[in-house]
Every structure is written in C-alpha cells, then in structure tokens.
Structure 1
C-alpha cells in the first residue's frame, strides 16, 4: 500500500511539473511571442507647462491614467481564454472602456489648466490606446503596428487575442530574448575628452545598500500624494522618510542612511527580483504581486554614489530639492527616446547593454549604472513633465544653450546574482528582472533612477569646490575598490548559459540626448516615470458580449510599505566612466556549441550557497508557479495507474488477513 501510494504521488507530481516546466521553457525561450501589451500615448510628457495652481489636480489625474492602464492590463491577462474565443471582446470590454476612462481624465486635466491659463490643445487625441504585440522574439519595443489587428469598432485601439502569457513568475515577463551574453558584446564605452577649464574631481557619498529593507511603490516626484503611484517597488537609500506624502520639510528633517549626515538626499530605483517562487511581503499587494512584480527582492552587494564634473567647464551647485529622473519606466511602449538603462558585468564595464539583461561569466556580478542629467536650466527644481528643467550634456560634454553644468550623479549598483538557466526557463538558476509597470513586461530598457537633492548647502559647496579643483572627496572616497585592471578574456572564465533558442540580434537602442522643449511634440513623446494611483471605474461590456472580470487596482494605505531583509556590502567608487551613448556594435547572445549543451541546465557555481540577499543565489530546487493540469498530463500517468492497483490490492490483502487471522 505504501509503495503504491508513493508511486501515485510521485508520478502525478512529476507529470504535472514536467508539463508546467515544458510550458515555462517554451515561454522563457521566446517561443510564445503573441502575448499583447497595452500602448497608451503619454499625456504627462505633453504637459511641458502647467500652472502652479493646477499642478495638484493635474498630478492626480495623471495618476488615474496610469491606474486605468494597469487595471486594463490586469483584466486583459485574466481574460485571455475568453478573448481567445472571441477576440472582439478585447475592444468591447477592455479597450473601449479604457478610452472612455482616459477621455474623462484628460478632460479634467484640460479643465484644471484652463482655470489658470490657456486651455491645452490636442489632448483629446491621446485618449485611445492600442493593443500591441509584445514582440518578444526581437526584444524591440512594441508599437501599434506590431501584431495589432485593426479595431472593428473603428476607434483605432486594435484587437489582439492574448496567447499563453509572457513568461516569468508574475506572468508578464521576462523571456530569454531579454538576456545577452556580455562576453559577446563589443566594447562600446567612450569618454569625452577633457578640455582646458573642465572639472575633473569626484565626490562620493556613502549611503549603504538598503540592508534595512526600505521599499514602497510610491513616487513622490511624479505622483505626490498618491499611494502606489509607481505600480512597482523601489529600493531607497539616503533619506528615510521618502514616500508619496513626504513634503519638502519632511525630507529636510528626515534621518538618512548616508555616512555624512549632511546628505539627506533620496536615491531610489526599481528593485531587482529573482523569479524563484519566494513570496515577499508584497506578494498580494498593489505594486507587488497583484501587478506582476513577484519573487525575491535582491539586496545589492554594492552601491556607489559618485558625483562627477564636466569635461568642458566648471560645475555649479545643484539647487536644494532639485528633482531628476533618468530613464523611462515606460520605454518598452514609448520607445527608447528617453531610455537610459545601462547593464553590464564586473570586469566588463566597458561593454554596456541598453535593452538586455547581462549574462555574466562565473565570478562576475551584474551591474546597473545610472548616469543622471548634468545640465540645469538655472531656474527650476522641477518641471511639469519632470524632464525639461534638466538635460544631458552633448557628446563633447557641453550643455545646451541656456543650461549650466552641475555635478553629474552616477549610481552604480552591483548584484551577486548568477546567470539564469534559460534552457529550462530559470528552474535551475532563477531568472532576474527589475520591477516594472505591468504592461511593460519587465523589459530591461524600462530601468530608471530617481534623485532628490537634499544636501546641506555647505556640503554642496564642498562638493562643487572638490570637483572643480580636481580632487577626490566625500565620505565614500576611502571605500573605492581597486582598479579592475585588464578585462578578462572569454577564455579565462566560464561563459554563462546562452539562450537555447535561435541566436537573437541584441542591438541596444540609443537614448536621445534630452534638450529643452522646442517645436511640436512627436507622435510618441518622451516620457518621465509616469504617475499612477486611484481606482478607475470599469465600464460594462456591450450587450450580448461575454462578461470579463473587472479589475480595480486597489490603493495602499497612506504609509510607506516597509519590508525587512538582510544583506550587506561596501560602498565603492565606479572604476570607469561609462558613456551615455548606446553601443554601436551588435550584441549577440552566444549560441550553445551543441544541442546537448543547449538542453542542459546550468547550475550555480559550486560553493555559492548563500541566499540571494547579499550573496550568490543557490540553484532553484522548486519549479516556478506555472499553469498546468492533469488533463494535459494523462498520457504520462500509467505508473500512477499501476500504483493505484497496488494500493487497492494492498487494501484488499489487509482486509482479507484481518478477516482470516492465522
């Protein structure tokens, strides 16, 4: 009886796991390519001028726009089966109601501005959204033309049936095409030549790695006063009072994790997660698991905060409470104009990826680098679209006309995570990805960083003097790592696992240099990290249509969501100044040498058994959550049937021996 019961249990579990694993592998290797996402024109980026009296109302409505898209995307993924049977339901129950919700919010934005100034023109054209193919096989941003059939309703949204999902533990990415072998990328970093009169010093601040686990899904820059305004979780270091409801005075009076208490600045970025099945505290909360951001949050091994000079001129002081956002949290659907992600590996930082996660060799760590805008308009600490008050320097290091050079913040974040086992969908060594808006599918191009300057004025003067005089200063200066030296060759270290699918061209897209506003906005405008927040009202589907589930992304309480985690690391100065330009060479994920090698999962290096938080990841021993059922595995259940017969025979024998004792 015991043997038969065990055989039943083992076979049923193994068959279900095998079926789910096959599905997960198909998703991870990019064979499932038709999962759609939602593209909506970015209203906030069009609002380059908003009167102060209208700013609060406008910010609130912009937050509602992002909440509406997040809720529509969640409804889309939950309704995949019904839409596959009747593709027209996507328009009837999701896209048309979304357009109506957006039209109402856009109308309120225009009304708020009209009460203070001239009514903005052309906003009504931004209400309609498009259901687009995620186009995961190429890794390129989605567009309304990619896989979106014309809308039968005539309103331009487009219809597409979701198919199979987009992979990942949260069901919306990443996939194998989102990764590239760093050893196959050609060196692509250049540094502007220093000129007479330039500023060559550096100032480093030491603020830890968020070992105390300060997280939330707010964004006080783009969605002040809106809980869950980011729809994804951020790591915070520096200022310890940063949430959606923090006032300037709250930030000025806050505690700080920085060694020099004169730096109360806030530094934050999307968390990195391992898709290893672990349930974090936010697993059932907005911004976390309910919006596709699932898995174990990884604490960085190192965080470097370095302020650099300008190669052509001296720098001036940053104004207190200056806000800067670099990168675009919606770059996957907006396009790469404002994307500024840089991904690499230790020992290979002269090779930067913009739209791929790096597969690092054994012994090499993943590195995220953010180079912030370093030209300021000399007047404003923020702008309506959170971009036009600052700009990137030109390739030669000069600032646009009317802008002045300020210290350039360079954030370098290092993670001790291993190259995922793409051959088995990350079941042996888990996939890693940044948190994102749900419809952005965890694409690496959506990575971004945020900064609010809360330096004491005296410490800011010290920083500027240090940089302009060519010195190395700051609380983090003594913790600089040794020089990386010569770059290792691929033959000197083991290569990471490469995608088992066909070799994909991974040509990173080049972020455009941001300039002051001029002329007419483009059809797909640059975008800041969008606000989000309050629930939207769902519109009922048309009469006679199959009703789909209604989704309202709930709003979290008026508090910072805080999760405790362990971890540690040292603060170190970046060893090299990466360029903001995209690689001009094609980054190609190396194909496995043999079919056998492609099929074999790659285990983590031996001796690296510490948890991912603050150390290397151990091989994953449990499958990720996948959708599977016994109906799909019945052909593999014959051992279970035999086990059931053994179990029944054992029970019959036990009954007979009790009735007929010796």
Structure 2
C-alpha cells in the first residue's frame, strides 16, 4: 500500500469515516446498503533485543513521508522500475524499525543513538533511492518534481503520537506471549489496550446513505469465492510492488484468482483458475490476514512478512466472506474494465494519518449501529468480529491503474452519491469478512489475547491500517452481466 500526504483529521471526523459504512438488516437476511465512505515467538535479535528498557522507551516507530502517493505522473516504461524503488523505500523503513526495536538498551543510554545510528543512515538511503526514481522517470521522458527530494528525511514518533485516530497510546504492555515490548503486542509492535473498545459501550455512529433517485441502479450481484480455506497466502503485492518478493511485508488471504503473486501478469490472471463458483470470475480479492496473539505460532513464524517482521500469532480464517457488487443511488453504472486494479484503505495510516483510511470494524448484531475505524471491537458473547470494505465506485473512464494506484478511481460524494467530474459510476465492490475471535481481555491497562490485522511492522498493528485489494478479471461477458444486473434492479449471484 502507498503512503499518503500528512493530512490529519480530528477524532470525530475519523469516526465519521467509519460511520458512513452502514449495513442494514432486512427480511431476506443481511442486506448491504451502499457504501460511500472515503477514507494493509519472534526472532529475539530482530524483535526482542534487550527488553529490560522497553517499557520506558519513548520512541515508538519510524515515520517517513510517502513518496509513492506524490508520484501521480510516471511514464509507463518507468513504472516497474519506480515500483521497485518504492519497494526499496518500504524495505529500508522496515529494516530501520527492526533496528529501532532491537536497540532499546542503547537508546536508553544514549539520547542521540536513534538520530545517529538509525534515522540518519535511513535518510541517506532514502535520498539515494529518490534520486534513482528521478533518473528513471526522466530517462523515460517524464518530469520529476524536485520537491520530492524533500521527502527523504524521516522522523520518529513517540508512544503518544502513534494513533492515527487521535487517541493516546501507552508505553510497554504485557501480552499472553509473556514478553514485554516497547509498544505492546506479542512481538513488541502492538496492538495495545487502547486499540480495543467494548462495542456495547460505543454510542451508535452509523450514518444514513444517499437518497436514491428514480434512475438509481438498485440491483446487487453476489459472487461466492470461499474464505481461503485452502490457505492461499503470500506476502507479495502485485499492484504496488510488481516483481518484488515480500513487497507487502505482511501476509494476505487470497480468494478468487489462484495464481496471484508479485510476478503475475494479466496473462497469468487469465490462466489462474478461480475459487469462485462462477467460473467466469477470475478476479483477485485479497486482504491482510487477522491473527490472534495468544502466544501460539503459525507456519510463517520465521519468515519474511511473518514473524520476522512482527506479524505473529495464530492466523484466523474467516468463517464467512461475502463479496457483493452494488449500484449507484443516482444513476446507472458502466461495466468495470478488464484488469482494473483498486486499493481501498491505507496500510500506513499510523504514520500517514487517516486521509485514505477506509477500515470498518464491527460485531455481528451491531453492524447497523456501530462501525469503527481506529479501534478493534471487543464483541459480546455470541457475537463475531466483522471487517467490511466498500471500494471506490467511480472510475476515470480510461485507466486501469495509476502511478499512485489511487487517482484513476474515486469515491462518490458521501452525501449525494455523485461521482466527481470526469468519472463514471461503476459497480461498487463491497466485502464483509466475519471472524470467530476469542475476546481480548483488558486488565490494568494491559491486553491479553489481542487480535490484530497484519501490517508493515512500523505501523504497530493499528486497526485503521486495514485495507483491501482487488483486480477485476472476468470472462464470458461477466463484467457486463454484473452491470446489467445492477442497472435492472435485480439480485443476482
């Protein structure tokens, strides 16, 4: 996922992002309302370090400006090379964070250690990488904004600055893993008690959806693709880091297309097979896994993107995965173009801020009342955790991707449902993932049996970093069938 410019919102506004994702319960079961919210045991040397000083350490994470989000005009011949350099920036931050986590004792002894031994060298590497990006763009005939060179310097963020939703985070926490980390969690990089809330104590915050006009496309199209029971996983991200192994630095569940990794091409997608019942749906639907940090290990405990990068604990497979396309409240939709790539949410909101956050957490029985962006819900007995996503529903009519993977698509206006000028309404992909999560327990400001979404290690497993990825691949006229179903007001599957 790409980083965003630093645009921060007040906590009420952040909550409003989540509130726009409304679910309504109807006579036929769970009926999706349209979403128009705008808003991805550890190695002791890498993650444990000397734990005796961790609880008092003030530096929580590394915060670096996002270069990828500012690259809105990269010539096509340069895009793959630029993507590799952007992946290098992510890798550099990951390595710096690992060093930060492993040197707490040295930091306590030397106030200048982080600046001199971690941030300074990181800034030098970033400056060289940004210069290679400049050269790649200019050699392909593009123009480079020299202001991007100013994005090289990074900073550190303290424990009370790490919540994109505006809340305060505490220092060291104790988890069921029995180890103490600088900012909580089984691997020492979150989550912390302040990342959770008892959903029964949250006031209703779900807002209404835009009023439908007489020309609305009121149908729905459901595609049944399973819950990744066959455990199709990898830590790549072919959208943002093509050709880069472990480009995501966290593990994804994949349903739909079965041949998606960093090296997949459009031709690969067409030959990939699918987990969907509709054999014409070769689309790829993928999201970061959820893990329970209960002291257990999973298959990737010692792997890149897994335990080596702070993603630890038992992986949970969803008990339900509902994938549904819905229409526009103000008009007809056009079919999605073949190979359209869309990312919703931002895997890096902890350091970017919530401008592109689109995380929605709730519990069964509460979805039409409470949606959370910056907290994980603790659900009452008999209720399950729900992650839901509503993708961008407007397309620029020309491009299946963009240099920053965002500007070719957009959200409709949350009040009116109207697309921005120059954009066309397309079927809106909505997803609902349900998990049977053992409820976390919070005592004395500490959390046990925490659960969290996988993410980049420096993002501290915050709930606002949740995100979802999609590549539209269809055959046998399925894209047109989906659009026609919505436009005719039918409920299809």
Range into which the TM-score falls when normalised by the shorter chain = 0.7 to 0.9
TM-score (norm 1): 0.63
**Alpha-carbon distance between aligned partners in 2 of 1:94 and 1:283, rounded to the nearest angstrom:** 25
Aligned-pair distance for 1:280? 1.1
Write the mapping of 1:81-100 to structure 2, written as runs, cut at 5 A: 81-100=105-124
Aligned-pair distance for 1:188? 2.2
1:122 corresponds in structure 2 to 147
CA contact (8 A) 1:110 1:119 kept: yes
1:165 corresponds, among 182, 204, 211, to 182
Which structure has the bigger radius of gyration? 1
Write the mapping of 1:413-424 to structure 2, written as runs, cut at 5 A: 413-423=433-443
Counterpart of 1:256 in 2: which secondary structure?
coil
2:303 corresponds in structure 1 to 285
**Alpha-carbon distance between aligned partners in 2 of 1:199 and 1:325, rounded to the nearest angstrom:** 23
1:245 paired with 2:263, answer yes
Write the mapping of 1:296-311 to structure 2, written as runs, cut at 5 A: 296-311=314-329
Aligned-pair distance for 1:121? 2.1
**Structure 1 stretches of 5 or more lacking a match?**
1-22, 148-162, 475-662
Structure 2 CA distance for partners of 1:203 and 1:413, relative to 1, 3 Å = same
**Alpha-carbon distance between aligned partners in 2 of 1:68 and 1:139, rounded to the nearest angstrom:** 22
2:488 corresponds, among 469, 476, 482, to 469
2:197 corresponds, among 180, 183, 190, to 180
CA contact (8 A) 2:181 2:187 kept: no
Counterpart of 2:443 in 1: which secondary structure?
helix
**Alpha-carbon distance between aligned partners in 2 of 1:390 and 1:413, rounded to the nearest angstrom:** 23
Count the aligned residue pairs. 430
2:357 corresponds in structure 1 to 339
Structure 2 CA distance for partners of 1:41 and 1:125, relative to 1, 3 Å = same
Counterpart of 1:249 in 2: which secondary structure?
helix
**Alpha-carbon distance between aligned partners in 2 of 1:306 and 1:323, rounded to the nearest angstrom:** 17
CA contact (8 A) 1:132 1:142 kept: no
**Alpha-carbon distance between aligned partners in 2 of 1:282 and 1:57, rounded to the nearest angstrom:** 29
Aligned-pair distance for 1:181? 1.4
Aligned-pair distance for 1:136? 6.9
**Alpha-carbon distance between aligned partners in 2 of 1:193 and 1:280, rounded to the nearest angstrom:** 46
1:450 paired with 2:469, answer yes
Counterpart of 2:318 in 1: which secondary structure?
coil
Counterpart of 1:100 in 2: which secondary structure?
helix
CA contact (8 A) 1:114 1:120 kept: no
Aligned-pair distance for 1:141? 5.6
Write the mapping of 1:357-376 to structure 2, written as runs, cut at 5 A: 357-376=376-395
2:98 corresponds in structure 1 to 74
CA contact (8 A) 1:267 1:450 kept: yes
1:48 paired with 2:72, answer yes
Higher deviation after alignment, 82-91 or 334-343: 82-91
Counterpart of 2:355 in 1: which secondary structure?
helix
**Structure 2 stretches of 5 or more lacking a match?**
1-50, 172-179
1:107 paired with 2:127, answer no
**Alpha-carbon distance between aligned partners in 1 of 2:164 and 2:267, rounded to the nearest angstrom:** 43
Counterpart of 1:285 in 2: which secondary structure?
coil
CA contact (8 A) 2:210 2:417 kept: yes
Q: Whose strand fraction is larger, Structure 1's or Structure 2's? A: 2
1:276 paired with 2:308, answer no
List per-residue Cα deviations over 1:450-504 (Å, max 9, x = no partner).
Answer: 0000122511111111100101001xxxxxxxxxxxxxxxxxxxxxxxxxxxxxx
1:390 paired with 2:409, answer yes
2:421 corresponds in structure 1 to 401
Counterpart of 1:337 in 2: which secondary structure?
coil
TM-score (norm 2): 0.84
Structure 2 CA distance for partners of 1:142 and 1:129, relative to 1, 3 Å = farther
CA contact (8 A) 1:169 1:277 kept: yes
Counterpart of 2:417 in 1: which secondary structure?
coil
Aligned-pair distance for 1:331? 0.6
1:410 paired with 2:427, answer no
1:324 corresponds, among 331, 334, 342, to 342
1:206 corresponds, among 198, 205, 224, to 224
CA contact (8 A) 1:35 1:164 kept: no
**Alpha-carbon distance between aligned partners in 1 of 2:181 and 2:260, rounded to the nearest angstrom:** 38
Aligned-pair distance for 1:140? 3.8
Aligned-pair distance for 1:187? 2.3
Counterpart of 1:104 in 2: which secondary structure?
helix
